């Protein structure tokens, strides 16, 4: 796509995000169904400049999946049972918050 003559449209520059920043951008990306805004997409995908909607959604899922998996590994085993029970109760309650 050509830019109109005399304009200089550039993407905003973002610095390398922390892990917390990537997680926040991933959550926002999923909450906004892949369209959280340009800066959030650039933050999530840094250093890549590929900010296609589907790629952002896929990467947001990877970021959260790996982060949650690592977090769960740090939990004592009894917490797994509690979480599993709460999730089953939530499904059985037809999605009413506990």
Residue pLDDT, tens place only, 58-81: 999 999 999 999 999 999 989 989
Kindly tell me if the per-residue pLDDT of 25 is higher than 60: yes
Instruction: Please report, for the chain, the start and end positions of each structural domain, with discontinuous segments joined by +.
Output: 19-92
Single pTM value for the model: 0.77
The size of the chain, in residues, is 98
* Separation of alpha carbons 81 and 92, rounded Å: 16
């Amino acid at each position: 796509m050509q830019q109109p003559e005399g304009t200089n449209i550039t993407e905003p520059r973002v610095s390398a995000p922390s892990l917390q920043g990537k997680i926040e951008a991933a959550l926002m990306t999923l909450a906004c169904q892949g369209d959280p805004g340009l800066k959030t997409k650039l933050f999530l995908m840094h250093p890549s400049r590929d900010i296609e909607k589907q790629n952002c959604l896929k990467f947001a899922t990877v970021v959260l999946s790996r982060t949650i998996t690592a977090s769960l590994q740090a939990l004592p085993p009894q917490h797994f049972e509690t979480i599993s029970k709460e999730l089953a109760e939530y499904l059985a309650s037809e999605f009413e918050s506990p």
